[in-house]
Chains A and B, each alone.
Chain A
């Protein structure tokens, strides 16, 4: 230690100024130059450190550090040179130089070692080119990028579209599947029998409705020919299906089919071809059948009852003739033989006997009249009403001709209003009405009274109304409805003859024309009969 300190502080050495003879000019030159060099050398590491601080990315930063240390050391060497001018501390400055030499050598070695790498470092021009190249590349890249993005966008759109299509397709398939499942369920649980057969009539499907209707279960019948359900009198499956293939259109008809238990059922059958593939080849037929048994039965019942009614109606129509034959024949014989008794055997009978036979003949004849009147009345209900334009004036004239004897006998005065309107009616039937009303007016006339009959009519848009007034015995107004009933009479037979059918016939005729008849009367003050016939007679009434 003491040796080192002796080495370092060698006070016996001359300051460097001595070598310069302390010439001021030389001193200044050396001192100022060394000081400036030192200052400059100190500033450089600062700049390098600042550079390093700022540029963290510098590749050879350890070289920069070594450089900074080397320059700093150089600077310090120059500081020692200045100090040596006055102090002559050469050992210390020598050590400083040695240190500087060491750093310099190390830095120089590092520099040389670094040289290839440093040479490899691009020049600014190269860098500029590189930058340009890179910019160009970048531009290209951006172009590529844009194109790529565009393609990506296109592709994305395509994919989105495909995706949407796929979604739609999937949804459609799901819907179709649901629909087909729904249809399958409908078919399976339908009350209608729904059956599928191939083109030869072999059953391929058989729903619940078919099981119920025909009684066969699907398991036992699938694979068999549909012919099993055909009635014996119908052509077989072969005929049917060859016809269907010739003319494959959907059609519906009523047919008979045989159930498993052998019962024949009426069904409404719709057969439709089932087509398959693009060429629509017929691969079979669908048959939908439904029992119309109830309808057929009710139709048959209806037809039977209609036939029965028609028969009854015909029988009723026939009744008038049957009655005229069967009732009149014995009656006619009774009257005929009684007449023979009266005429040929009167000498063998006493007075009472003759009188009794007289009563019997009278009653028989009256019965005959009743039967005839009743037949006339019932014939009215069965006879056809034939309408035509009729002149009532002529009809009344005919009636007057028929009743000529009675009119003359009673010296009756019949006044017919001129210009009676023509009307639409069944003339023979209307004649019956006038016949009955006029003969009644003549018949029911007070003793010693001259019958006066007045006939007039009015017509409006709706109907024609006739009015027949007499000066006869009249009747109580409260009887006005009863007189139109069959066999209803107001007077004892020995006063006024008649069966009581005339006014009932009048009423029936007018009902058949859609019209009506009524009367106004007072005992002893004559009667007025009115009847009306509509101008437009409902055809429904005539059809009755």
Chain B
């Protein structure tokens, strides 16, 4: 399945170092995805709903959501997405440092598509990024907006 356009990813990550690292690893792995970055849950929801300054935002194919966010945290953002009729079908990957079973459980209860703990080394991160691209943009059939 050959994508007609580059996939649009929304990275919700408040730590700029973390966000840039992920973006760099995507770049290093030569993955042709557009990574849109917002730093808070509130911004993420505006982006997804194309509200405020995000009126021209693209349709998002996959959300990479951190848990530990200022304001609305990852769980709350996920809940909002799942509660929103238009957004609820958007695939969401929880990409977080937490391995806390209660976080994992809550995320799946809120119908996260998958829960990924950030690896300790850059090689492992590269591997994960590859896997995400491979799986979500080449293996699975994602919902279409129209």
The closest CB in chain B to the CB of A361 belongs to: B121
Asked whether, in the complex, the Cβ of A332 is within 8 Å of the Cβ of B98, the reply is no
Question: With A333-B21, A336-B21 as given contacts, are A321 and B120 in contact (CB-CB < 8 Å)?
Answer: no
Cα of A209 to Cα of B18 in the assembled complex, Å:
71
- Are A325 and B97 also in contact (CB < 8 A) when A335-B121, A339-B122, A340-B122 are? yes
- A336/B97 in contact, CB under 8 A: no
By a CB distance below 8 angstroms, the chain B residues around A351 are none
CB contact list, B107-146 vs A, under 8 A: 118-123, 125
Interface residues on B, range: 10 to 19
Query: Given the interface contacts A325-B68, A325-B97, does A332 sit within 8 Å of B118 by beta carbon?
Result: yes
Q: Decide yes or no whether B24 CB sits under 8 A from chain A.
A: yes
A324 to B123, CA, bound (A): 19
> Is A328's CB within 8 Å of the partner chain B?
yes
Residue in contact with A325 in the complex, picked from B21, B98, B122, CB distance below 8 Å: B98
Chain B residues within 8 Å of A339, by CB: 121-123
Distance in angstroms between the alpha carbons of A337 and B28 in the assembled complex:
13
- Expressed in whole angstroms, the minimum distance between the Cβ of B104 and any Cβ of chain A is 10
Residues of chain A with a CB closer than 8 A to B97's CB:
324-325, 328-329, 332
Q: B52 near A: Cβ within 8 Å?
A: no
Contacts of A324 in B (CB 8 A): 97-99
Q: Please tell me which one of the listed residues A318, A325, A333 contacts residue B17 in the complex, with CB atoms under 8 A apart.
A: A333
How close is A339's CB to chain B, nearest CB, in angstroms?
Answer: 4
| Interchain CA distance A337-B68 in the complex, whole Å | 21
Cα(A325)–Cα(B120), bound, Å: 11
SS class, residues of chain A in contact with chain B: helix
Residue A381 interfacial (CB < 8 Å): no
CB-nearest residue of chain B relative to A325? B97
Q: Does A424 contact B (CB under 8 A)?
A: no
Q: Residue among B68, B103, B121 with the most chain A CB within 10 A?
A: B121
Q: Decide: B120 and A332 in contact? CB cutoff 8 A.
A: yes
A321-B99, A321-B100 as given contacts; A336 in contact with B68, CB under 8 Å: no
Q: A residues within 8 A CB of B21?
A: 333, 336-337, 340
Check if A43 is an interface residue, CB within 8 A of chain B.
Answer: no
On whether A335 and B17 interact (CB within 8 A), knowing A321-B99, A324-B99, the answer reads: no
Q: Which of B24, B119, B120, B121 has the most CB of A within 10 A?
A: B120
Measured CB to CB, the closest approach of chain B to A263, in angstroms, equals 43
Give A318 to B17 CA distance when docked, in angstroms. Answer: 26
A25 vs B100: C-alpha distance in the bound complex, in angstroms?
A: 188
Report the Cα distance A340→B17, complex, angstroms: 12
- Asked if B98 and A321 sit within 8 Å, CB to CB, the answer is yes
User: Are B17 and A337 in contact, with the CB atoms below 8 A?
Assistant: yes
A336 CB, nearest partner CB in chain B, Å: 5
Query: Does A272 have its Cβ within 8 Å of any Cβ on chain B?
Result: no
In the bound complex, CA of A85 to CA of B98 (Å): 190
A338 to chain B: closest residue by CB: B122
Contact partners of B24 in chain A: CB under 8 A:
340
Interface residues of B in 71-123 (CB under 8 A from A): 97-100, 103, 118-123
CB distance from A345 to the nearest CB of B (A): 12
Residue in chain B with minimal CB distance to A331? B120
A335 and B68 alpha carbons, distance in the complex (Å): 20
Q: How far is the CA of A344 from the CA of B17 in the complex (A)?
A: 17
Q: Nearest-CB distance from B116 to chain A (Å)?
A: 14
Task: Known A328-B120, A368-B120; judge A336-B125 contact (CB<8 A).
Answer: yes
Q: Is A336 touching B99 in the complex (CB atoms < 8 A)? A: no
A328's nearest neighbour on chain B, judged by CB, is B97
Residues 2-46 of chain B, each 1 if its beta carbon lies under 8 Å from chain A, else 0: 000000000000010110010010001000000000000000000
**Across the interface, which residues of B come within 8 angstroms of A321, CB to CB?**
98-100, 103
| Residue in B closest to A320 when the chains form the complex, CB atoms | B100
Shortest C-beta distance, A347 to chain B (Å), equals 16
- Min Cβ gap B19→A in Å is 11
- Point out which of A318, A324, A329, A337 has the most chain B C-beta atoms below 10 A from its C-beta: A329
Q: Complex formed: what's the CA distance from A325 to B117 in Å?
A: 10
Closest chain B residue, CB of each to CB of A339: B122
**A336 vs B123: C-alpha distance in the bound complex, in angstroms?**
9
Q: A325-B68, A340-B24 are in contact. Are A335 and B98 (CB under 8 A)?
A: no
- A333–B17 alpha-carbon span in the complex (Å): 7
**Distance in Å: Cβ of A342 to nearest Cβ of chain B:** 10
Q: Which residue of B lies closest to A343 (CB)?
A: B122
Q: Known contacts A325-B97, A340-B24; is A335 also within 8 Å of B18 by CB? A: no
Q: B120 contacts which chain A residues (CB < 8 A)?
A: 328, 332, 335, 368
Q: Which of B18, B68, B100, B122 has the most CB of A within 10 A?
A: B122
In the complex, chain A residues whose CB is within 8 Å of the CB of B68: 325
Question: Which 4 A-B pairs give the minimum distances between C-beta atoms?
Answer: A321-B100, A339-B122, A325-B97, A336-B122
A-B contact pairs, 16 of them (CB 8 A): A321-B99, A321-B103, A324-B97, A324-B98, A325-B98, A328-B97, A329-B15, A329-B118, A332-B119, A332-B121, A333-B17, A336-B21, A336-B121, A336-B125, A337-B21, A340-B21
